[in-house]
Chain A
Amino acid sequence: MKSDRRHFLKAAGVATIGVAAGATAAEANLLDSAKELLLGPKGAAPYPEAKKNARWAMVVDTRKLTAESMEKMIHACNHAHNIPLHPLRKKGDKYNKDEIKWIWEEEFENAFPGQMNEHLPPKVTQNEVLVLCNQCENPACVRVCPTKATFQRDDGIVIMDFHRCIGCRFCMAACPYGSRSFNFKDPRIASLEINPEFPTRMKGVVEKCNFCAEQLDKGLQPHCVEACENGELVFGDMNDPESEIRKVLRNNYTIRRKPEVGTQPQVYYIV
């Protein structure tokens, strides 16, 4: 057979493609079977109580909030998530750049800056409200994250993958609610008592409220909701028209923080 350079190159090209395709297919098969072995069949339901296809949201009833009840809810969250309590820099300093905030008290005019009507009842304007990550439908933080460390789950929760965060803080700049905190200091040194169930973070990552995704996956309620005694917080599935939260939203007029920025917050406030 006549063999020239042209034939040789053609054959070599075909052979390369063939080998590469075979290897990729084999690798993909191997990876799939290894994954199934290690993770179990796809869609196995280990926690049957956990709700599927939900869209989680929260209603905060500011009429029922008291200083003590807010304290209790904040403490439940801080303890469950090993949130560091870095001391304020000096007495009287309300804000501290080292502070890590998942759920905290905020003055009404700061929480709802665009909605200050004149002559509002003092119980609205003078009381502090409970604020947390709004778990936006349209989260700006997710859009700007260069590493996909923060992402939105199928149930709408905006969550952090602390393993991937590079601490660039784009998400903090993008969040219109200041709901994200940066660990300038080692979080472990300032945690009160460490809860072994939940990891601490390391210096140099951003963190925020995760709507207690680890609780929801087991079919439990978030820690702050479990801690409230008079129904100050209502948590539930927006996709279920019969759920408690949908009833509360039907029967009460609610407002949301900064609706004008278009992020569609999923934390509603009854005032």
Chain B
Amino acid sequence: MYDSGKIITGLVIFVALFASPFILNVGGGAPAVPQPSLDTPAIKSMGNPVCVRENMQSNHMQVLDLWRDSVVRDSNHTAPGIDGQLYEMSLSNTCMECHSNKAEFCDRCHTYAAVDPFCWDCHIEPPKEG
């Protein structure tokens, strides 16, 4: 065997480098999926929070898309909440009235998932609290 020492040493170093991210992460696990914060004055003041029936955490992209087409193109401005009452479909007015904590409610997950929707280029963000 020629140069077996060098080759084996090289292989060991290569394998160690290649596997280092996996080895370093063993036991650490992935960072926890952030939970949107529901801690706003408006939500706290409601005894029984009323929102849409759909699971918004996983489906809000489809729901918001459906709403925006419904409002803009069909002039249908309201949708039923859990309580059966009709609410205005409006991101900056209705949604953000309760979820006024955009940084903890929207941005936390969007940053985690590295998605950058351009809603707020046009729609007005709620004013910062405090």
Q: Which single member of B66, B78, B88, B124 contacts A199 (CB below 8 Å)?
A: B124
Interface size on B, residues (CB 8 A): 26
Segment of A16-24, A36-44, A63-71, A89-97 in the binding face = A36-44
Q: Is the CB of A39 within 8 A of B70?
A: yes
Residue A201 interfacial (CB < 8 Å)? yes
Residue B75 interfacial (CB < 8 Å)? yes
Contacts A199-B123, A199-B124, A202-B122 given; does A38 touch B68 at CB 8 Å: no
Q: How many A-B residue pairs have CB under 8 A?
A: 59
Residue A241 interfacial (CB < 8 Å)? no
Residue B38 interfacial (CB < 8 Å)? no
Q: Is the CB of A40 within 8 A of B78?
A: yes
A30 to chain B, nearest CB (A): 12
Q: Which single member of B54, B67, B77, B126 contacts A217 (CB below 8 Å)?
A: B77
CA–CA, A196 and B79, complex, Å: 20
Contacts A40-B78, A44-B78, A161-B72 given; does A201 touch B66 at CB 8 Å: no
Interface of chain B residues 28 through 74 with chain A (CB within 8 A): 52-54, 63, 66-68, 70, 72-73
Residue B121 interfacial (CB < 8 Å)? yes
CA–CA, A202 and B75, complex, Å: 22
Q: Is the CB of A151 within 8 A of B73?
A: yes
Interface of chain A residues 123 through 170 with chain B (CB within 8 A): 151, 153, 159, 161-163
Q: Which residues of B contact A202 (CB under 8 A)?
A: 118, 121-122
Give the size range of A's interface with the partner: 20 to 34
Q: Which single member of A37, A194, A218 contacts B54 (CB below 8 Å)?
A: A37
Q: Is the CB of A161 within 8 A of B124?
A: no
Contacts A194-B124, A200-B122, A202-B118 given; does A153 touch B75 at CB 8 Å: yes
Q: Is the CB of A46 within 8 A of B67?
A: no
Q: Which residues of B contact A213 (CB under 8 A)?
A: 75
Please name the residue on chain B nearest to A43 by beta carbon. B76
CA–CA, A151 and B126, complex, Å: 30
Given A34-B54, A38-B54, 8 new contacts (CB under 8 A)? A38-B63, A40-B78, A195-B124, A196-B93, A199-B123, A201-B122, A202-B118, A217-B77
